[in-house]
Structure 1
């Protein structure tokens, strides 16, 4: 599959006249709980030639789209963000982008951009933004999938993971790990709860059909109490960070020079 993905990235570079800087897996495979039929969710960051940026229309307006999306098939979902879009989202501590930077499945990386971006992460990370993102994700998925007497049991992971990410941020004030196993080991101390989650995780990875089943009370009770507690906790935060725009502008210009001066 890696060869197919790399071939697609080269095709994108040629078709759109861009350079791909970084490409990773971003979905359940990166999170550590893929099913046997999980597709590949490839996300990448790319940069246009300097002339593309030297025009009166800003990026993202009209024909100057700041995303590249490849038609999705049953096996591969691939899309990317233009570098200035990625940097603006990085400035806001965008959780999906921060997850890309932590993915353990890197398909492609060239030039110094991502390493320099990682070096700025501690200056830019804004816990409030990530907490709101993950808590809202958990609440929405819980409300839609996990409230009946019978629930879509595989959806537990799409509520557990953001809740555990919130708990990590609360505890360490850093970007949470992308790997679910690491979050589970660090954030769940109750052995009974951890055993239930691990049993469910083993079934999912093994490929068991995880559709409608009776709800797992110990997990539901944990999720409900944590959502209430975390919502109250977030309201107590008043953290601010210095505006990193100047440093991100420098990184953008340095990347343009590094990529295209050669």
Structure 2
């Protein structure tokens, strides 16, 4: 009998996912878009992610990003446990972040929450770029999109209505034509980006509306600030039916580069597949 790759949990016979459920101490979390399985501990104080062999590198990268961000003063989770088991899986356990996801806030809380979102992104983007060991250049992100389109794996649910009427290959070609412009404008303006700055990844104290932490950091790295701003702006429209102008003004960009925003608004949904 081998030990389960979680502190204090003995008796795992190899299949960590099934064992976690059978103990009754961990509850499956159904949200998420990847093959990595997520579990919440019964007391709510920790989360476990279990990745298959194909996802170990990505989960290892998320582990390192969580640990790095925890040392910057930006609120978020802490790494509690990491191991790679004999069944070809990797397991990451992190502390839970208190609060509720931004997307769950009631309408009357949203104006103040928008200001807090802008302030937190600004705080993240003001971190020392030289101290961040992770990079996410536009070219590599476009490469992800190329792979997703090539495999026919674009999820139409992530696309806006007008984009669904076009072939993914045509959307990709449009993006490729815009890459030189976006790369030129981003040069000298690179920041530490969250990489997946959507509303579910910002947690709030529902009473004070202070942000309690950032989660899902697998794409964190030095990149164009517009990568984060575009995704948050889209979410404010799609989830809260709000004009993102107030968010961008609160961030410090009352007159943003609309062309650059458009590049990242289209690029992100093509990278998930």
Q: Same fold (TM over 0.5)?
A: no
TM-score, normalised to structure 2, is 0.29
Kindly indicate which of the two structures has a greater share of residues assigned to helix. Answer: 1
TM-score, normalised to structure 1, is 0.30
